[in-house]
Amino acid sequence: MTTQMDHAEISMLVDHLFRALDERKFTEDWARDFLTDDVRMETPLGTFQGTEAVHATEEALGRYARTQHIASGIVTGADAAAERATASWNALMTHVHHDATLTELGGSADPLFTVGGRFEAGLRRTHDGWRFHHVAVRPIWTKGQPPLGVGAR
């Protein structure tokens, strides 16, 4: 059973992660505030583990001039004895293309690539608090075009 404190901490972790992605302050160890060292990330670009997942996230966001990630409807479940939890939430992810990408896509390309979807995650309680050890991005719909060479699901 999830306590109110666990739910609040996990919800704040989601909000802080989305803020960090949009602010792109990728210091060498930025991901330690959110992810376990062995995190497994499933995205439309592939499945990545550990440091590869962190670098893939940075690279994916670098494909865009700016992004805005909005989370809502966070649902959590925690097993305090096992120090594990789950979370899922709806997400609206807006990506603003670089000018060079718009040129590649053609003159009538939408400057935005928007994705509506759901995130599903597994968390572990560490000595620093809850951290994601598994994150899956599940797109439901898209509007606009991703950069060339990136397939949207």
Domains and CATH numbers, the chain: 4-143 (3.10.450.50)
Of residues 133, 135, 109, the one with CA closest to residue 123: 133
Lowest mean pLDDT among 80-84, 120-124, 149-153: 149-153
List, in sequence order, every beta strand (DSSP E) within the chain.
35-43, 46-49, 64-79, 84-97, 112-126, 129-143
pTM score, two decimals? 0.92
pLDDT band at 66 (very low <50, low <70, confident <90, very high): very high
Residues in the chain, overall count: 153
